[in-house]
Amino acid sequence: MSSLDVRKQLTFYGAYHNNPTNIMIHVTCVPIILWTYMIMLQYTPTVPFLPALQYKFNDYMEFELKPVSFIWLFYIVYYYLMEPVAAFFYTPQFVVSVLTAVSVAHTPGSLHWVVPLHVGAWIAQFIGHGVAEKRSPALLDNLVGALVLAPFFVHLECLFKLGYRPEFQKALKSDIGVEIARIKKIEGDKKRASQKKEL
The answer to whether residue 64 sits within a structural domain is: yes
Query: How does pLDDT run across 134-148, given as a tens digit for each residue?
Result: 887 766 666 766 778
Residue 33, domain member (yes or no): yes
Residue 1, pLDDT score: 52
Q: At what angle do helices 67-82 and 143-161 cross, to 10 degrees?
A: 50
What is the model's pLDDT at position 48? 87
Identify the segments of the chain with pLDDT beneath 50. none
* Cα 199 to Cα 12: distance, rounded to the nearest angstrom: 34
| Residue-number span of the structural domain to which 92 is assigned | 6-198
Segments of the chain assigned E as strands: 54-56, 62-64
Residue 147 maps to a domain: yes
Q: Is the residue at 44 inside a domain? A: yes
Question: How many domains would you assign to the chain?
Answer: 1
* pTM summary value: 0.90
Instruction: Examine residue 1 and state whether it is found in any structural domain, yes or no.
Output: no
pLDDT at 64: 96
133 contact partners, CB below 8 Å, separation of at least 6: 16, 17, 18, 19, 22
What is the model's pLDDT at position 40?
Answer: 97
